[in-house]
Amino acid sequence: MNTLAEENYLKSIYHLALSSANVSTNQLAALLKTKASSVTDMLKKLADKELINYTPYQGVNLTAAGEKIAVNIIRKHRLWEYFLVEKLNFKWDQVHDMAEEMEHISSNELIDRLDKFMGFPKHDPHGDPIPDCNGLVKTHHLEPLSSIVPGQHGTICGVRNHSTMFLQYLEKQSLTIGKKIKVAETIEFDHSMILQMEGKEIQISREVANNLLIAQ
Amino acid sequence: MNTLAEENYLKSIYHLALSSANVSTNQLAALLKTKASSVTDMLKKLADKELINYTPYQGVNLTAAGEKIAVNIIRKHRLWEYFLVEKLNFKWDQVHDMAEEMEHISSNELIDRLDKFMGFPKHDPHGDPIPDCNGLVKTHHLEPLSSIVPGQHGTICGVRNHSTMFLQYLEKQSLTIGKKIKVAETIEFDHSMILQMEGKEIQISREVANNLLIAQ
DNA sequence: TTAAATTTTTAGACAAGTCTAAATTTTTAA
DNA sequence: TTAAAAATTTAGACTTGTCTAAAAATTTAA
Ligand SMILES: [Mn+2]
Ligand SMILES: [Mn+2]
Ligand SMILES: [Mn+2]
Ligand SMILES: [Mn+2]
C-alpha cells in the first residue's frame, strides 16, 4: 500500500500538526533527520497520492485519508509498546525503537487481535492514548506540571519528552505514570518545584516540570 | 546491519541448500519471484560481504556468517508464527505472510523474550523446528507418509508444502500436527492411501501423502 | 519598503534493487 | 565431439529515496 518512508512522513506530519496548523518543510526535515530537499520530494509524492494538502512554500497538512493512515500507524506503535512492556517485561525507556519497526507490520487483523489479547488498553506505557480500531483517539487534556500552583494535587498521566535519558531519570525518581503528587512549593529563583509524593519530598527542575503532564 | 532484501536472499539460500548442495541462480530467482539477472547482482553483494561463497556459473552456498544470519531469521519467523497461532488464535494457514514481515524486526533481545514468554516452544505451527537463541536447529528426521508401508503406525509431525490451500485441506480432513495415523492400505493403481485415524478411515492421494511428514 | 536573512524548491547526482535484452558460459544430447 | 539448448552474467535502464549546491520565494527587520 504505502512505503515505509511514506508512512514515516505521514506519522511525522501528524505529530507536528498537533502543535502547529501548517507543518513546514524544515520541521519535517528536523524530525525525520533528513534534508529539506528530500522532504520537498516526498511531499510532492504524498500530494500526488492525495494524502496531504501541499502548497509550495506554504507547508502541509494531512487529508482525511492521510490522517487515517497516520493514526493507524500510531495505534500500532502504541499497542506494540504496550505489548513489549506488559507481556515481555521491557522498561518504558526501552521500547520506542522496537515499536518504530513494528508499527510498519501491515496486517490490521493482527493488530486488532493483539489489542483484544491485551484487553483493549487505553494508554501506552508513556501515557499516550491508543487510537481504537476505528481510528478514534481519546485525547485527554493534560497540564504540564510546571503550570500547577502550590497546594494543588494531580496525577502523572504523560510525558512530553520520550528520550531514554528522561524516562530513566523519571523511573529513578519514581515519577512514573499513575503516581499522585502534590505541589508543595515553587522556587521563584529557578522555577524548580518541591513535590510531595507517597509521603516523600522530591525536588525537580523547571525543565522536568515542563515535560511531565498532569491530570487534576 | 543487513537490508531486507539481503535477509530474504540469505534465508532462501538456506532453505534451498537443505535439498541441494550448491544453490543455483535460477532456483533463487524462482523462489524469490525475481529475475536471474537480479539474483546475480545480489549474489555479488553477498559475496563481497562474505556471507556466501560464490563462483560465477557455479551456484552459491552460505558461509558460517551467512548461515548464522539465515537461521536467526528463520528463528524469528517461526517464533512469530507460533505467537500468532497460540496467543492470537490465528489458523496455521493464515500466519506465514505476517511472519514474513515480522521476521525482519531486528531486536534479538525482543525475540529471546518472546521465546521465554511462550515457554520456549520447540516447533512452529507447521511442525518445523524453532532454532534456539544460539542458532542450534534440532532437525528430527521425518519420512513422507508416502514411504510408510501398510500396517505401520506414525504421527503427523510436519508438512512439505506450506500453501494455504494445502493447509486448509489438511485442516478440513483433521490431518493436523500431532495426529496419530495407521496406513491401512495403499492402492497400486494411483498410489493413493487409506489411513486409519481416530477410528475413522481417510483416503488421500499420492500428492497429499508425499507432502505429509511422519515420525514413527 | 527595500535589503538581508531564512526557508523552500530545483537541478543534478548517487546507491539499492529491480528489469529487459544481449552476450557468454555450461550442459545436454545427437 | 560438436551443435543446440539451457543457465548465467553483463550492459544499460528505471524507480525510490536520499544528498549537495544553487536558485527562487518568503519573511524579517532596518
Ligand atoms: Mn514510542
Ligand atoms: Mn509511547
Ligand atoms: Mn512460514
Ligand atoms: Mn512455519
Report the nucleotide nearest the CA of residue B25, measured to C1'. D8
Judge whether residue B140 has pLDDT over 90: no
Dist CA A176 CA A127 (whole Å): 10
HSE-up of residue B142 (Cα within 13 Å, Cβ side):
24
- How many residues are recorded in chain B? 216
B74/A contact by beta carbon, under 8 A: no
Using CB atoms, which residue from B90, B102, B106 is nearest to A105?
B102
Q: Which residue has the cell 545480489?
A: B42
* The pLDDT of residue A34: 98
Q: Answer yes or no: are the C-beta atoms of B13 and B61 closer than 8 Å.
A: yes
Dist CA A84 CA A90 (whole Å): 6
A-B Cβ pairs (cutoff 8 Å, strict): 32
Pairing of strands A52-54, A60-62: antiparallel
Q: Residues 6 or more apart from B207 whose CB is under 8 A from it?
A: none
* For residues B58-65, average pLDDT: 97
- Candidates A124, A139, A132; CA nearest to A177 is A124
CA-to-C1' distance for A195 and D27, Å? 44
pTM tops 0.85, yes or no: yes
* The pLDDT of residue B122: 98
B187/A contact by beta carbon, under 8 A: no
* φ, ψ at A83 (rounded to 5°): -60, -45
Using CB atoms, which residue from A98, A113, A114 is nearest to B107?
A98
Using CB atoms, which residue from B89, B114, B117 is nearest to A113?
B89
* Residue B88 to residue A110, Cβ atoms within 8 A: yes
Please report the domains of chain A, with CATH numbers, ordered by start residue: 4-62 (1.10.10.10), 75-135 (1.10.10.10), 143-215 (2.30.30.90)
A70/B contact by beta carbon, under 8 A: no
pLDDT tens digits, A153-175: 999 999 999 999 999 999 999 99
* Residue B101 to residue A105, Cβ atoms within 8 A: yes
User: A1: pLDDT confidence band, cut at 50, 70 and 90?
Assistant: confident
Please give the mean pLDDT across all residues of chain A: 97
